[in-house]
């Protein structure tokens, strides 16, 4: 009788025991916390790229904790392993934070970053299209430290000029009489990049209002180096600047010089206006805007230099063959020529945009690999990757005849193939734009 009852009860007891064991795993709050922490932090691309090793160690530790829980080890043991996993995950996060801050610090100080461009690129993926603001995009994309520095310098110069223009006390320009030179057309300034100059001057001359002309020049001087910004400025803005009855403000010469310094000599040879002593600094700028025969810095802008600026905004680098834009391996599926569309789309859209805007521009696409695979495989992979990029550009409406593809396998390394980082750098596709280097 007793035996029968025991037999009936035993499955229930076994069931309760099993349920207890199974639920024991979820009763370790430290493990749950570790899993949550890891899941949250590992999704951060900055941590994943900059503190990959630490994150991997944390993952292994978390796996140990989960294994301990699955093996029904003591809760204290599981909790210990889980605590270690949490600490390692947090360490990875802090490590990435530290690297990011140190990188920013070094860039701010004008020093070379200790991070590789691949690490920076992986950590600073942005989704916004580059076309919206190439300068800002260049600053944030992180593909090139030099490009970042260049664009930041441009922004700084622009902001300084604007600040100087707003802080400068109102100064009156003494204009004795209308000058015939003003009424002459200004044929030299008709290039697209200096459209603002070309638009501003005829309006001022037609109204025979030299002061307004001065104001227009001053407005231009406030945007010294950013030719692309000037080109993008709508004409309405210039019109408003011309019509506003604000007191005249002159920007000191050192801020005007970057834009119109080449016209200074001509201005001195043919002084059009007599400027009050306090405002004499601005004379070269006025002269340049007025007389403005073709000057090297202004004239060279529209063609080659404009393309160069567009390419620089995409973090292309000048070299002996022209401007070279590097696509790292992260744009491809590992070991194949398959394109990671989401990652590459931003770059390819912008490359296509530049090619569309400049119909004469051609492109050489060169594939490269590291030396880990057999030479014939490397060669095939490099060619296929170059063709993949070409296909992506053709799909974006670029004439295939404008694009040449080549694969070099592992024959042209740019870094040491003995280190993982070097091999990573060597696995690349270069987009070479045969753009002549301008002297400016």
Residue tagged 């492109």 (tokens): 363
Q: Considering the rule CB under 8 A, would residue 163 count as an interface residue with another protein? A: no
Total of chain residues touching another protein, rule CB under 8 A: 17
Report the length, in residues, of the chain: 440
Q: Which stretch binds another protein (CB under 8 A): 96-104, 144-152, 267-275, 376-384?
A: 96-104
Q: Facing residues of 430 across strands?
A: 326, 366
Task: Give the separation between CA 12 and CA 24, rounded to whole angstroms.
Answer: 18
Rule CB under 8 A: say whether 88 interacts with another protein.
yes
Question: Which DSSP helix (H) or strand (E) runs through 278?
Answer: none
Q: How far is the CB of 80 from another protein (least distance, A)?
A: 5
Measured CA to CA, the distance from residue 48 to residue 46 in angstroms comes to: 5
Structure tokens at 374: 């057999």
User: Least separation, in Å, of the C-beta of 62 and another protein?
Assistant: 13
Among 63, 104, 166, 268, binds another protein (CB under 8 A): 104
Candidates 24, 97, 317, 330: give the one binding another protein (CB under 8 A).
97
If the CB atoms of residues 30 and 223 are measured against another protein, the closer one turns out to be 30
CA atoms of 96 and 91, how far apart (whole Å): 9
Residue 326 phi, psi dihedral angles, 5° rounding: -100, 130
Q: Are strands 363-368 and 428-433 parallel, antiparallel or unpaired?
A: antiparallel
Question: Shortest Cβ distance from residue 92 to another protein (Å)?
Answer: 8
d(CA 179, CA 267): 14
- The answer to whether the CB of 249 falls within 8 A of the CB of 214 is no
| Smallest separation, CB 96 to another protein (Å) | 8
**402 near another protein, judged by CB under 8 A:** no
- State the Cα–Cα distance between residues 164 and 159, nearest whole angstrom: 8
Rounded Cα distance, 118 and 47, in Å: 14
Please identify, using beta-carbon distances, which residue of 148 and 295 lies nearer to another protein: 148
Closer Cβ to another protein, 84 or 381, answer by number? 84
Q: By CB under 8 A, tell whether 95 contacts another protein.
A: yes
149 binds another protein (CB under 8 A): no
Quote the least distance from Cβ 26 to another protein, whole Å: 22
Beta bridge partners of 322: 319
User: What's the closest the beta carbon of residue 76 comes to another protein, in angstroms?
Assistant: 9
63 vs 270, beta carbon nearer another protein: 63
Binding residues vs another protein (CB under 8 A): 80, 83-84, 87-88, 90-91, 94-95, 97-98, 101-102, 104-105, 108-109
């Amino acid at each position: 009788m007793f035996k029968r009852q025991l037999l009936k009860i035993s499955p229930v007891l076994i069931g309760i025991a099993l349920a207890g064991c199974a639920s024991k795993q979820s009763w370790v709050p430290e493990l749950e916390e570790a899993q949550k922490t890891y899941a949250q932090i590992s999704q951060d691309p900055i941590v994943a790229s900059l503190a990959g090793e630490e994150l991997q160690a944390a993952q292994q530790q978390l796996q140990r904790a989960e294994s301990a829980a699955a093996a029904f080890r003591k809760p204290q043991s599981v909790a210990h392993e889980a605590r270690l996993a949490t600490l390692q995950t947090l360490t990875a996060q802090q490590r990435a934070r530290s690297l990011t801050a140190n990188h920013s610090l070094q860039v701010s100080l004008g020093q070379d970053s200790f991070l590789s461009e691949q690490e920076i690129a992986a950590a600073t993926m942005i989704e916004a299209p580059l076309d919206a603001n190439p300068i800002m995009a260049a600053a944030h994309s992180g593909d090139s430290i030099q490009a970042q520095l260049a664009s930041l310098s441009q922004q700084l110069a622009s902001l300084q000029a604007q600040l100087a223009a707003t802080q400068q006390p109102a100064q009156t320009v003494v204009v004795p009489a209308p000058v015939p030179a003003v009424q002459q057309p200004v044929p030299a300034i008709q290039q697209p990049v200096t459209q603002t100059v070309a638009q501003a001057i005829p309006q001022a001359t037609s109204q025979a209002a030299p002061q307004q002309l001065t104001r227009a020049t001053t407005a231009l001087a406030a945007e010294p180096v950013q030719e692309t910004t000037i080109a993008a400025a709508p004409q309405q803005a210039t019109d408003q600047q011309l019509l506003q009855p604000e007191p005249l403000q002159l920007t000191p010469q050192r801020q005007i010089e970057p834009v119109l310094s080449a016209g200074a000599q001509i201005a001195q040879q043919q002084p059009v206006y007599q400027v009050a002593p306090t405002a004499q600094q601005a004379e070269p700028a006025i002269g340049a805007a007025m007389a403005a025969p073709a000057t090297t810095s202004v004239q060279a802008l529209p063609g080659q230099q404009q393309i160069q600026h567009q390419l620089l905004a995409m973090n292309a680098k000048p070299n002996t063959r022209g401007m070279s834009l590097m696509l790292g391996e992260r744009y491809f599926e590992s070991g194949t020529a398959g394109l990671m569309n989401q990652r590459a789309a931003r770059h390819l859209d912008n490359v296509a945009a530049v090619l569309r805007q400049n119909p004469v521009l051609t492109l050489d696409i060169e594939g490269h690999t590291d030396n880990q695979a057999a030479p014939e495989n490397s060669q095939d992979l490099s060619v296929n990757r170059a063709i993949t990029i070409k296909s992506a550009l053709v799909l974006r409406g670029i004439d295939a005849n404008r694009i040449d593809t080549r694969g070099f396998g592992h024959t042209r390394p740019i870094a040491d193939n003995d280190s993982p980082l070097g091999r990573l750098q060597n696995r690349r596709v270069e987009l070479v734009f045969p753009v002549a280097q301008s002297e400016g």
